[in-house]
Amino acid sequence: MLAYSAADTYARALLVGLANTFQVAILGIAAASLIGAGIGLLSLSPNALLRNLAATYVEFIRNVPVLVQLFFWYALLTEGLPPPREALSPLPGVFLTNRGLFFPSFSGVPELQGFNFAGGAALSPEFAALLIGLSLYTAAFIAEIVRAGVMAVRRDQWHAAQALGLERRHVLRYVVAPQALRVIIPPLTSQYLNLTKNSSLAVAIGYPDLVSIANTTINQTGQAIEGIAIIMAVYLTISLAISALMNWTNARLR
């Protein structure tokens, strides 16, 4: 996100790493929440097909290490997609290649120039693999939390709401959701923290997050203690900050 050149200081490099960690964590949390809530609600659906589909998803994703999933998505994006000259274009202006995903933005539309696309916005395969892998992985856990939260709302609350003549989606929105959220938020917090901590696996697929850059810094300077102290201090701060924020939300809901 931030500009970086080889002449910059290590502090600048670490700052760039921190920004990259935040970028993937924030987008990942948003995507995982949406997918997770969707799958959690599907697993409560009256339709058996949808319910089984959601259960299968959760079972498969949860029982495979997140690192394997990251490698898989990275391999799929770099090996499964064609080179830029034969790019897949599912929508006009959107190009899927093994050099990254390109799509139009305010600054213009991507165009093939030389060996790669230029203009518009781009996602590197590393970033895309990390984002997809982390979101889908965490979504499986969030789906289970959402399901447990909704099931924790007593049956008679549903019946009472239905007796009042509310539709299913209104029952969910006005009666069940406010009560379920109280159950959902504490475990949800720890899933958000897990996603943020798992984003450190970026080092394995070459996305320059904080851990990856700190690791390079340690290798170049030999200052192992300082490097690791920085990693730990940053993650502890993030952990405490997210916990505090969620406690505050939790207190307001009560």
Partner 1 sequence: MKKVLNLFLLLLLLWLGWKFADWALIRAVWQPDAAACRAASGACWGFIVEKHRLIAFGTYPYEEHWRPALSSIFLVALWALSAVRSFWKPGLILIWAVGLTAIGVLMWGGIFGLPYVENERWGGLILTLLLTTFGLAFAFPLSILLALGRRSELPLIRSLCVAYIELVRGVPLISVLFMASVMLPLFLPAGVSVDKLLRAQIALSLFAAAYLAEVVRGGLQAIPKHQYEAADALGLGYFQKTFLIVLPQALRIVVPPLVNTCIGFFKDTSLVLIIGLFDLLSTIKVSLNDPAWTGFGVEAYLFAALVYFVFCFAMSRYSRSLEANSGSG
- Contact residue for partner 1 among 88, 240, 244, 253 (CB under 8 A): 240
Contact between 183 and partner 1 by CB under 8 A: the answer reads no
Q: Which is nearer to partner 1, 124 or 157 (CB)?
A: 124
State the minimum distance, in angstroms, from the CB of residue 232 to partner 1: 5
Contact between 204 and partner 1 by CB under 8 A: the answer reads yes
- Contact residue for partner 1 among 26, 164, 236, 244 (CB under 8 A): 236
- Contact residue for partner 1 among 33, 43, 69, 189 (CB under 8 A): 69
Contact between 97 and partner 1 by CB under 8 A: the answer reads no
Q: Which is nearer to partner 1, 46 or 165 (CB)?
A: 46
State the minimum distance, in angstroms, from the CB of residue 47 to partner 1: 7
3-class secondary structure per residue, the chain: CCCCCCCCCHHHHHHHHHHHHHHHHHHHHHHHHHHHHHHHHHCCCCCHHHHHHHHHHHHHHHCCCHHHHHHHHHHHHHHHCCCHHHCECCCCCCEEECCEEEECECCECCEEECCEEECCEEECHHHHHHHHHHHHHHHHHHHHHHHHHHHCCCHHHHHHHHHCCCCHHHHHHHHHHHHHHHHHHHHHHHHHHHHHHHHHHHHHHCCCCHHHHHHHHHHHHCCHHHHHHHHHHHHHHHHHHHHHHHHHHHHHHC
Q: Which is nearer to partner 1, 121 or 240 (CB)?
A: 240
